[in-house]
Amino acid sequence: MTAPRRPQRARDPEARRAALAAASMEVIAENGVGRTTHRAVAARAGLPLGATTYYYPTLDDLIAAGLRHALDGLRSDLLAWDERLRDATDIAQTLTDLVREYLADRRQVRIEYELCVAAARDTALRPLAEAWMEGLPEIVAATFGAEASRNICALLDGFILEALVTGRELDAPRLTSAIRRLAA
């Protein structure tokens, strides 16, 4: 007597590609590009090792897919921030609200900040870090000008890092007040 066959799960190639790209960014953020492997990415994505090499035959392909995935997400986030800021009546408060919302997913924030630190060591990651470091000031500059926008964005980074390191909630009133002072 033969065992009954398990029904085959439908495979969604695009979902697998996206899961592998997202997992590769997490592995890169934790281990760096040099210690990223197909095996580690497959494990993080919860997919068989063969899926990584099927969709991304070389490690460079996998890393490039992860970077594209991260940049696409970053562009989407920047567009959303730009839209909210353009419609805002109180820019300082809106920036504070955006930072608070951003910090709601601490795991994702840690990954993005790990990538920024990794970009200091690995030139392959620099486009991702530079896209954020240049993209947000460009958006904020429309309201505050170039110099003030760079200062405000540095301030935002400081508040975000403080919240990550301490595990405390964002000090929203203090941030809003500091933004107003820098914008004056």
CATH of the domain at 128: 1.10.357.10
- Report yes or no on 28 lying in a domain: yes
If DSSP codes are grouped into helix, strand and coil, which group holds residue 88? coil
Number of domains in the chain: 1
Assign 3 a pLDDT band (cuts: 50, 70, 90). Answer: low
- Report yes or no on 136 lying in a domain: yes
The pTM of the full predicted model, rounded to 2 decimals, is: 0.77
Query: Which amino acid type is present at position 39?
Result: R
- Report yes or no on 23 lying in a domain: yes
- Report yes or no on 4 lying in a domain: no
Residue 8: the pLDDT is 43
Q: What is the residue range of 47's domain?
A: 13-183
Buried b (16+ CB within 10 A) or exposed e, 87-98: eeeebbbbbbbb
- Report yes or no on 108 lying in a domain: yes
